[in-house]
A = this chain, B = another copy of it.
Amino acid sequence: MDEKIRLSHGDGGSETHQLIKNVFYKHFNSSSSDAMPDSFVFEAIQGRLAFTTDSFVVKPLFFRGGNIGKLAVCGTVNDLSTAGAIPLYISAGFIIEEGFSIEKLHLVAKSMGDLCNQIGTKIVTGDTKVVENKNADGIFINTSGIGRVSEFYNPRRAEPGDEIIITGGIAEHGTAILIDRYELSVEADLISDCAPMCGLVVGLGSKLRDVKLMKDPTRGGLATALNEIALEQELSIEVMEESIPMKSEVRAVNEILGTDPLYLACEGRMIIVVEKGFEKEVLQCVKTLDYCNQAGIIGQFVSASHTMVYMNTGFGGKRILPLLEDRTLPRIC
C-alpha cells in the first residue's frame, strides 16, 4: 500500500526525522552519509557569489519532461546562470499536503538528487513542513541557491545594435504543462524543455566577456522577458518572427488552443545579450553546448522614443509585444 504523508511527519519529532532520513538524505546525499544541518557552513572563496530563491507550485506535479523536483532545481540553477554563476550549494524547503503519496515524494526527491549529481552541485540544507489536507496542493518546493560568479562575466548596459540570442525553441515547457493539465489528446512528441543552463556559463568561459546580460524566459515567456529587459535598459527591442526557434508541435498546439507561444514559459532556455560584433562567435560556441543546439540570433536593441518590444512578422508587418496584461496560464512553475 502506498504510504501517505501525515501531519506528524511535519511536527519535528521522530517521524519527521525518519522521513528526512529515508527520503531526503537517501536521494540528496547518495554518495555520503552526511546529515543536512539546520545551517550549512562553508569556507568563503575569492570573488563574487550569487544568491537566489524560487518557490515552485507547478500543476500538475508530474508533467511530460519533468516534475516539480527537477523544475525546482533547474529554476534556481538557471537564476544563478543568469548572473553568470555556477551553482555551489542548493537548499530545499518542502511544504507537503497531508495525504500526499510518499512514493511520489521519493520520485520528486530522486529527480532533485539526480540532477544535482549531474551538474555537480549539492543540496546542503533543507526544511520540511506538513499542512492539513486541502491547505496546499500536493507539494510546494522552495529552492534557494548560492553560486560562484564567473570572473569573465561583467554585466553592463545594452546599447543600440547589441544582438539578442535565444538558446533554443520557445514555449515548450508552457505548452507541455497545458497539454498535461487539461489532458489534451495530443500525439505530438513534445516535452518540457526543463533543463539546467549552468553548462552555458562553463561553456562560454572567457566569451562571457562579450555578454552584456542574460535572462531566462520563464513566467510570461519570451515576450515578457524581452519587455523586462527593454524597460530595464531603456531601449527598444526588435525581433524577427521567423528567426525565433519554435517546434512545429508547439506552433500547432498553440494554434488549436488559441494561446500565444511568445507568452508561454521556457524552463531550459536563456536570452543572451551580446555586444555588437561578437554575436557570431558567441552563437557558434553556444550551439555546441548542451540544450543549446537550436540557438539563434532573434533580434537586436534599437533606440526609440518609446521603450517597447516589437516583432517584424513574416508578412512584413510590425507587431508590438506588450508586457503581459491579461491573465495567462497560472502555476506553470
Contacts and interface: CB of A to CB of B under 8 A. Distances in A.
A11 interface: yes
B126 A53 contact: yes
Interface in A207-223: 215-216, 218-220
Interface residues of A, number: 76
A52 B230 CA distance: 35
Interface string A1-19: 0000011101111101100
A327 to B, nearest CB: 4
Given A57-B131, A146-B146, A52 B125 contact: yes
A13 B57 contact: no
B48 A44 contact: yes
A189 interface: no
A300 interface: no
Counting chain B CB atoms within 10 Å of each CB, the highest count among A8, A16, A37, A38 belongs to: A38
Given A13-B324, A137-B135, A142 B93 contact: yes
A220 B39 contact: no
A92 interface: yes
A55 B142 contact: yes
Contacts of A54: 93, 127
Contacts of A79: 38-39
B7 A330 contact: yes
A175 interface: no
Nearest to A135: B137
Interface of A: 6-8, 10-14, 16-17, 37-57, 79-80, 82-83, 85, 89, 91-95, 124-127, 129-132, 134-137, 140, 142, 144, 146-147, 149, 215-216, 218-220, 224, 323-331, 333
Pairs of residues from A and B, 5 with the lowest C-beta to C-beta distance, nearest first: A12-B219, A13-B324, A53-B91, A39-B83, A144-B144
Given A8-B326, A41-B149, 8 more contacts: A11-B324, A37-B83, A39-B52, A39-B79, A43-B49, A55-B142, A93-B142, A134-B134
